[in-house]
Amino acid sequence: MKKPVLLAVDDDPQVLSAIDRDLRSEFRRDYRVIRASSGAEALEIIKELNVRAEPLALVLADQRMPGMEGVELLEKTRTLFPNTKRVLLTAYADTEAAIRAINQAQLDYYLLKPWDPPQQLLYPTLHDLLDAWQATYKPRFQGVRVIGFQWSPLSHEVKDFLAGYMVPFEWLDVETNPEAQILLNSTGFTTADLPLVISEDGEALAHPERGAIAAKLGLASHASADLYDVVVVGAGPSGLAAAVYGASEGLKTLLVERNLPGGQAGTSSRIENYLGFPTGVSGSELTHRAWSQALRLGAEFLAQEVTSMCIQDGYYKVLTLANGSEVRTKAVVLTLGVSYRTLDIPGIDRLSGAGVYYGAARTEARSCDKGDVYIVGGGNSAGQAAMYLAAYARQVYIVIRGETLAASMSAYLIEQIRQTSNIEIMSFTQVKEVCGQDHLEELVLSINGQREVRKARALFVFIGAKPSTEWLNGTVLFDNKGYLLTGRDLVTDPRYAKHWKHPREPYLLETCVPGVFASGDGRAGAMARVASAVGEGSMAIKFVHQYLDE
């Protein structure tokens, strides 16, 4: 963290040099001294410090300056830095005005010119003021800050994107946080420009798209090589495992992800049945470890969407990205995962991202403080979300169509839920409608066939998943639910056998296109568990080696 700033302001060059010299002589070990030759220049410095979240400990300003007097500057300083110590530097003739300013503008002190010797007339006063500032000073957050409206779907998307890449950020709700409005004013933007992402260097992005945020984070959007040994499409557990093993075994490996690393597993608040983590591990932590491991071993990562795939010269696979660029590779591992199914009820589209969320949406947990939240679904993901949200919400309701969770949720989760006092299971219940103006306010429920309206802070939906394989239609084979067919299924089922043209049998995880493999939840017959997805991603690299050695 940078040292707190002492700002000296005077339009007289000789006086400014003298105060700068004396401040540096006494305080440079613990503070950074900056000087300005006018009130306007000083105000710009103060605004920049505010945007960059740098601490401003003290402003020492001369009273008689053209354009902006010292008292006016110090009053403006208080708006941006309420706790900064403000000292007026004045001549003996202006003593009465200085005392009046202390009373009216709530200045902290005034000093007379000249202040020689500073050991008696300057330093004792400033030491007292700085000691008082240090006693109450709380370091501001250093990193990315996001200003927005709590119920803005775009604000939710920005927060989820940053959280998905484990970027520490500070969320500032412009409607409830006074600091948010002060910071917004200092950037020159207005509420019409929200959400606003302010990077650590002070640059502000208004209404940012994912691509702009990704670029600011240093995420690549174009491949660096003309040809790869293997391209892994999808950075869920299976894709991350494939990238780790591909890179570690010397293959030139590219990992491409359109959304966030980790997939659905990455949003889990706690995975407790994954081997090697006896106390459990959050999905984001597991994802970050695997992602860092893949990059360390030499895998390249692109934050991009693949829109199509074709075969060139009967061997090379050409992937077209959403930005129009192409990637050539010898082999492909499709780890496409699945996406949450949506509720088809009145109001759901309008309130999505504004109180209605698909998946765990951990970035919204704190906004549920002392409210009632509802979770639709009875699988492990729903159970993990319930346990996480119970730490914030007044009450968590798990809405299920059937009688119990036993058929769809692991026993350890059911037992944890049973022991959590503010989680309630609502059996034989369905959500029929979501209501609210600009955000979710009420749910219309059918409980044992009886209609009931309830207040709700948020609704989290976990009602099953569908494979994210639409863009491959016409390239590889799916089953009737859209899952990728691989291995023996391609030759034993007469409906698909005619599509396999290679003289050898397909490898276990190989699709109908030689050299194109599939693993993880998007593959037909896969087990929806993190451990099995990791295993399949690792196995896929073994078959990539066999294919490349042909």
Positive or negative CA dihedral for 140, 143, 145, 150?
Answer: negative
Q: What average pLDDT does the segment 149-170 reach? A: 90
Q: What is the pLDDT of residue 140?
A: 73
Closest Cα to residue 316, out of 472, 515, 502? 515
In the predicted model, what is the mean pLDDT of residues 344-367?
89
Tell me what the pLDDT averaged over the chain comes to. 91
pLDDT given for residue 93 in this prediction: 63
Q: Are the beta carbons of 12 and 20 closer than 8 angstroms?
A: no
The pLDDT value recorded for residue 499 is 87
**Confidence band of 270 (pLDDT split at 50, 70, 90):** confident
Indicate the pLDDT class of residue 156, thresholds 50, 70 and 90.
Answer: very high
- DSSP H stretches of helix in 153-209: 153-164, 178-187
227-337+466-548 classified as CATH 3.10.129.10: no
Confidence class for position 515, pLDDT limits 50, 70, 90: very high
Q: Over pLDDT 70: what percentage of the chain? A: 98
Pick the CATH number of 5-136 from 2.60.40.1120, 3.40.50.300, 3.40.50.2300, 2.70.70.10: 3.40.50.2300
Query: What pLDDT does residue 317 have?
Result: 97
pLDDT, mean of residues 506-520:
96
Question: For 94-134, what is each residue's pLDDT tens digit?
Answer: 677 777 767 766 788 888 888 889 999 999 999 999 998 99
> Dihedral of CA 104/107/109/111: which sign?
negative
Number of C-beta neighbours around residue 500 at 10 A: 18
**CATH for 348-463?**
3.50.50.60
Q: How far apart are the first and last CA of the chain?
A: 55
- Give the mean pLDDT of 513-520: 97
Task: Flag whether pLDDT at 141 surpasses 80.
Answer: no
Answer yes or no: are the C-beta atoms of 46 and 36 closer than 8 Å: no
Domain spans of the chain?
5-136, 144-216, 227-337+466-548, 348-463
- pLDDT at position 245 is 98
- Angle formed by the axes of helices 178-187 and 39-51, nearest 10°: 120
Segment among 265-274, 482-491, 531-540 with least mean pLDDT? 265-274
State the Cα–Cα distance between residues 322 and 411, nearest whole angstrom. Answer: 42
| Residue 1 scores a pLDDT above 70 | no
Residue 282 has pLDDT above 90, yes or no: no
- Provide mean pLDDT across the span 224-237: 97
Residue of 276, 275, 301 lying closest to 288 (CA atoms): 301
Share of the chain above pLDDT 90, in %: 67
Kind and range of the H or E element at 57? Answer: strand 56-62
Q: Do domains 144-216 and 348-463 have the same CATH topology?
A: no
Taking residues 381-405, what's their average pLDDT?
94
Cα 274 to Cα 421: distance, rounded to the nearest angstrom: 26
Distance CA 514, CA 509 (A): 11
Taking every pair of Cα atoms in the chain, the longest distance, rounded to a whole number of angstroms, is 102
Write the DSSP assignment of 208-233 as a string of letters: --HHHHHHHTT---S-SSSEEEEEEE
Mean pLDDT across the stretch 374-390? 93
Burial class (CB in 10 A: 0-12, 13-18, 19+), 216: middle
Q: Has domain 144-216 been given CATH number 3.90.1150.10?
A: no
pLDDT of residue 471: 92
pLDDT tens-digit series, residues 47-100: 999 888 889 999 999 988 999 988 889 989 988 898 899 998 888 766 777 777
pLDDT score, position 365: 84
Answer yes or no: are the C-beta atoms of 170 and 159 closer than 8 Å. Answer: no
- Is the separation of the CB atoms in 217 and 268 below 8 Å? no
pLDDT tens track for 177-223 = 888 988 898 888 999 999 999 998 888 999 999 889 998 888 898 99
Residues paired with residue 538 on neighbouring β-strands, in sequence order = none
Tokens 């192409």 belong to 326
What mean pLDDT comes out for the span 537-547? 97
